[in-house]
Chain A
Amino acid sequence: MTAAGHARRGLAGVFAAVVRRDLLLAVRRRSDVLTTFFFFVVVVSLFPLGIGPEVDTLRTIAPGVVWAAALLASMLALARLFVGDYADGTLEQLALAPQPLLVLVLGKIVAHWLVTGVPLVLIAPLLGLQFDLPAAALQVMVLSLLLGTPVLSMIGAVGAALTLGVRGAGGLLALLVLPLYVPVLIFGAGAVSASALGMDVGGHLSVLAAIFLIALVFAPWATAAAIRIAVE
């Protein structure tokens, strides 16, 4: 016997391995990632083109448009979160790992956010310029997206796991997840609007942070439970 496999990784090592694997897969399937990204860019850009150079209108709708587009883009990528792993047996192997499933699930969510959420956060200020948003509002937009997009990934993961193996999962996933996204939309877009109007944004961002923490506690756990049902 040459191969022994005696060396063991701790929980953090296994978490990192899951994140690394999903990032590597994303690099190999770049087109999937780029689709989400360009979907966001195109949808946000359609509005200034359609409405024309009415600066006041644009400035008013900008927060809502950017946030709604982020919601849809994030949802577009959700369908792929677990489906591949479910079909090829990887999900079973994750469920049988001697580490808590919710930590492995959190690894998958983190990788999903890094691939689909972070690019949106980075490009958002540039898109905001099309709407003539002031610099302060652009900063708030980045901050709110930074807090909000992980929540979208976490809530989305619950929906993606619940719809595993269901026929017509795509439509069902949207119906299930979009209503749950509403609080994030309201407070995310609200923060940017408030900033554009020169008001205090602390309240909105605090609520977003609270939603983030609640999702962090419950979403991986709910996703893990849903996965256990799906692999049965």
Chain B
Amino acid sequence: MLQAINLECVRGRRRIFTGLSFEVQNGELFWVAGRNGSGKTSLLRIVCTLLRAESGEVRWKDTDIRALGDTFLADLLYIGHAPAVKDDLTALENLRFSLAQHGMVASKEELADALVRFGLAGREDLPARSLSQGQRRRVGLARLLFGASRQLWILDEPLTALDASAVDLVRRQIGIQLERHGIVVLTSHQEIDFGGLRVRHLQLDA
């Protein structure tokens, strides 16, 4: 269970939100919406420890995430705005290293299979610089296929620059994650149809 208690976020001199509390149960999707600048990304970065809240705390399995440290990070899969894809590495190398630096090992077949499933068949060995914006995001998102051991997924605008088939792929992976009682936190401008999933909604600019 993910819990936020009385979060306050200040960026520069602006108070972005204050007194924000919520609770997400296992098997639920937490959908954060709001206009630009309403603090969606800041909230996600607070929940994954990248950003420090001005006050309040985030609890994971009833313990403050700051106190949990690496134990919390071992449960976390975060995909941010920037896809963390290197131009000079191939799609396959990018996926392998992004997993490896989090201590995950996958065989070449598993990696290639993941890229194929994300619609990158035949492009596994091309340098990422020759891929389109959407394809680069697909390389980043292919990590979701290896996220079974991570109970908490935090995805910042995962659907940006994706076409309909890729949106569908991501939605399916989110469904699988919720089925195994994981939690997904995401932001999105787009209205997405998460029919059948347990969705909890947060409107930040309200």
Contact = CB atoms under 8 A, between A and B. Distances in A.
Contact of A4 (B48, B78, B84, B148): B148
B145 A3 contact: yes
Interface in B148-195: 148-149, 176
Interface in B85-135: 85-86, 88-89, 93, 97-106, 110-111, 113-114, 127
B82 A5 contact: no
A80 interface: no
Contacts of B88: 25, 28-29
B66 interface: no
Contacts of A95: 50
A13 B74 CA distance: 16
A9 B78 contact: no
Contacts of B76: 96, 98
A1 B148 contact: yes
B80 interface: yes
A180 interface: no
Contact of B146 (A4, A13, A29): A4
A92 B176 CA distance: 26
Contact of A3 (B78, B103, B113): B113
B83 interface: yes
A98 B176 contact: no
Contacts of B101: 14, 17-18, 21, 93-94, 97, 104
A120 B132 CA distance: 39
Nearest to B98: A93
B110 A3 contact: yes
Given A3-B114, A5-B146, A92 B103 contact: no
Interface in A2-44: 2-10, 13-14, 17-18, 20-21, 24-25, 28-29
Nearest to A21: B97
Nearest to B136: A88
Given A5-B146, A88-B86, A99 B99 contact: no
Given A21-B101, A25-B86, A231-B50, A7 B106 contact: yes
Interface in A113-156: none
A98 B93 contact: no
Contacts of B80: 89, 92-93
Nearest to B142: A3
Contact of A232 (B51, B83, B85, B127): B51
B100 A9 contact: yes
Nearest to A97: B102
Given A1-B176, A28-B88, A95-B50, A7 B83 contact: no
B73 interface: yes
B6 interface: no
A227 to B, nearest CB: 11
Residue from the set B81, B82, B98, B176 with the largest chain A CB neighbour count within 10 Å: B82
Nearest to B95: A3
B96 to A, nearest CB: 8
A88 B85 contact: yes
Contacts of A99: 70, 103
Most chain B beta-carbon contacts within 10 A, residue among A3, A13, A14, A84: A3
Contacts of A231: 50
A99 B104 CA distance: 12
Question: Taking each of B50, B71, B83, which has the highest tally of chain A beta carbons within 10 Å of its own beta carbon?
Answer: B50
A20 B101 CA distance: 11
15 contacts: A2-B113, A3-B106, A3-B114, A5-B105, A5-B110, A5-B148, A6-B148, A13-B105, A29-B88, A89-B83, A94-B101, A96-B102, A98-B102, A99-B103, A232-B52
Given A96-B78, A99-B103, 6 more contacts: A4-B149, A5-B105, A28-B89, A89-B80, A89-B84, A232-B51
Interface of B: 45, 48-52, 70-71, 73-74, 76, 78, 80-86, 88-89, 93, 97-106, 110-111, 113-114, 127, 145-149, 176
Complex A-B, nearest 3 residue pairs according to Cβ-Cβ distance, in ascending order: A89-B82, A5-B146, A17-B100
